[in-house]
Amino acid sequence: MRRVRRLDLDGEVQADLNSRQATADLQQKDGTLDVEAEWKHARQTTSLVSVLGTLRRMMGDRQRCMYCLDSHGTDIEHFWPKKPYPERLFVWPNLLLCCTECGRFKGHDFPLSNGQPLLLDPTAENPWQHLDFDPPTGNIVAKFDSDRNDYSEKGSKTVKILHLDRREAMAAGYQKTFRRLVRMVEEALRQPSPSADSLITHFREADDHGLLGWCFLGSGQNEFPFRELRTKHPVVWDACLRALEL
């Protein structure tokens, strides 16, 4: 996972979403709203095609799923599920790009705590505040919260809902990306004056799974070889942090 920067929609598209939500709200109030039919009809419109295009641009050339970052994002996902929460049916911040597998795992499983979601929203928060990466297995696991003396509740629920610690093919992809990042840092450390610009360029090309957030801001910053880059070349480290907008 990684933090995803949400783009603004075209003004006409946003206005159309607002109009559709207002109509859905009225239908919900008078008991005539058919959520599935309303969404199915809307998905055929140019506005929702544009929404899908914007979500794909948010994910770059490879258009990965916002949850797992391993599979191709195939369709629009409602973070707050549309049937239980029709008041968010056409709300832009509630729409994500999701792969078929993550969508199947999630379904309508959406636990709350004090009215707030326990599933991570990668467009609203930094997932690595709640998740950890386990290099030996390639699994994504919950991060230990020292303040609670327990694992992050949000991280634990997200891992459970999306099966992030039980997907072998996904874990292999994360391991492959991590090995690429490690090799880049090791090569930089062999140079007397590593180039921050070169590292940044290569990092952007290699990080298919959002692991730079873990390597620079999460537990990975204390692991070899990222610890050495941070302690021996703090100027390069800080330049990477700024440029990569982690």
Model pLDDT for residues 104-149, shown as the tens digit of each residue: 999 989 999 999 999 999 999 999 999 999 999 999 999 998 888 9
Q: State pLDDT tens for residues 53-68.
A: 999 999 999 999 999 9
- Of 34-38, 43-47, 48-52, 107-111, minimum mean pLDDT range: 107-111
Distance (Å) of CA 112 to CA 109, 115, 125, 150, 185 = 10, 5, 16, 18, 40
215-242 average pLDDT score:
96
Q: What is the pLDDT of residue 8?
A: 98
Angle between helices 196-206 and 168-189 (to 10 degrees): 170
Q: Is the pTM of this model over 0.75?
A: yes
